Homo-oligomer: A and B are copies of this chain.
Amino acid sequence: MSDRILLIAVDWGTSRLRAMAVAANGAVIEERDSEDGIAKVAAGGHEAAFEALAAGWPREAPAIMAGMVGSRQGWREAAYAPCPAKVDDLASQMLRFSGAGGRRLAIVPGVMLRDPGRDGDVIRGEETQIVGLLAQEPGFAGVVILPGTHSKWASVTGGAIADFQTYLTGELFELLSKHSFLRHSVAEGEGDLAAAPGFRLGVERTAKAGLPFLAAIFSVRVRQLLDNVDRADNLAYLSGLVIGGEIAAAAAAGRLTRSQPIRIIGTRSLARAYRAALTIAGYEAEALDGGPLVAAGLVHLASKTGMLEGNAA
């Protein structure tokens, strides 16, 4: 099988390392992953961690990598491309170098935005999922939401990331549900939060009724204290408040209009929750699975720079 591997596409984030062996036609032949996220690998240990995962794959196949691997804490720091960033800009601004073992390597740059109203913003990793979306829908223009620990909302037009904003939604949900005094008022574990009635109520309050997020969160405690609301439903309510708050903040910044198509890129459960929240708030969105889009984005960027041509043994 290894004679058909022309490229290794790598999604290397904070907590996971994922590598895909890619054939000449761009198809993923084999996929492997490990716990060797950037947070775990010490300085100087990146090549060994990567080659351990890629063992047996051809050493002459170049590797293209995206994610925190290009951060200051990563293998090599890949400078941010300025916004608006076209796919071609990302391809031409990749950091190219060779490993000690001779493998040709490339790291996709993150994207940086300057905005005097909030200093600016940065993306690292999500840009490659957006490239994957553009590889599949070259003419896409609209809003791309990438929910997660740090949710990103990107405005995509003319084949470029025109603008974007980061919300700490996932991290705030984690802090509030597990580390604030509200933890006594909500259940542990998550499940399908978006299906609970509390989720809808939470989204309605912050995204429809306009209750500011900071004015809304104490109600999680009140519901449990005065009304003895079921803790599982209360966790869903908190999730609804936080995601609804994100939607309200994005709408206030003009990031959401009913005329623009909206794509959500994420894991299945998270994408479903965001889609449900957007529906409650009156917006239609289409949810896409993030994993295949990273692969598509990496292959697209590799093909733009000749990395996918004729490296087979």
Residues in A lying within 8 Å of B, measured CB to CB: 112, 117-122, 150, 165-169, 171-172, 175-176, 179-182, 205, 209-219, 221-223, 225-227, 245-246, 248-250, 252-253
Please indicate the chain B residues that have their CB under 8 angstroms from the CB of A205 in the complex.
Answer: 117-118
- The 5 A-B residue pairs whose C-beta atoms are closest, nearest first, are A212-B249, A166-B218, A215-B249, A214-B249, A118-B219
Q: Is there contact, CB below 8 Å, between B121 and A222?
A: yes
Contacts of A168 in B (CB 8 A): 180, 182, 214, 217-218
Chain B residues contacting A172 (CB-CB under 8 Å) are: 180, 214
CB-based nearest B residue for A150: B218
What are the residues of chain B within 8 A of A213 when measuring CB–CB?
212-214, 249
For the A-B complex with A168-B214, A175-B179, A179-B179 known, give 14 more contacts whose Cβ atoms are closer than 8 Å. A112-B226, A118-B205, A118-B218, A119-B227, A120-B226, A122-B221, A150-B181, A168-B180, A168-B182, A210-B252, A212-B212, A212-B213, A213-B249, A214-B248
Contacts of A214 in B (CB 8 A): 167-169, 172, 213, 245-246, 248-249
Chain B positions within 8 Å of A211 at CB level: 117-118
Which residue of chain B has its CB nearest to the CB of A253?
A: B215
Instruction: Name the one of B122, B182, B221 contacting A222, with C-beta atoms under 8 angstroms.
Output: B122
Report the nearest B residue to A72, measured CB to CB.
Answer: B225
A-B contact list, 13 entries, CB within 8 Å: A118-B205, A118-B211, A118-B222, A119-B227, A122-B226, A150-B181, A168-B182, A175-B180, A212-B253, A214-B246, A214-B248, A215-B250, A215-B252
What B residues does A119 contact at CB under 8 A?
219, 222-223, 226-227
Q: Contact between A215 and B112 (Cβ–Cβ < 8 Å)? A: no
Instruction: Provide the bound-state CA to CA distance between A163 and B211, in Å.
Output: 17
Contacts of A245 in B (CB 8 A): 212, 214
In contact, A165 and B122 (Cβ under 8 angstroms) = no
Which residues in B have their C-beta under 8 angstroms from that of A225? Answer: 122
**Residue of A112, A118, A210, A227 ringed by the most chain B CB atoms within 10 A:** A118
Question: When chains A and B are docked, how far (Å) is the Cα of A117 from the Cα of B218?
Answer: 12
- The residue among A168, A214, A219, A248 with the most chain B CB atoms within 10 A of its own CB is A214
Residue of B nearest to A247 (CB): B214
Min CB–CB distance A290 → chain B (angstroms): 20
- Whether the pair A212, B175 counts as a contact (CB closer than 8 A) is no
Kindly state the separation between the CA atoms of A268 and B112 in the bound complex, as whole angstroms.
Answer: 41
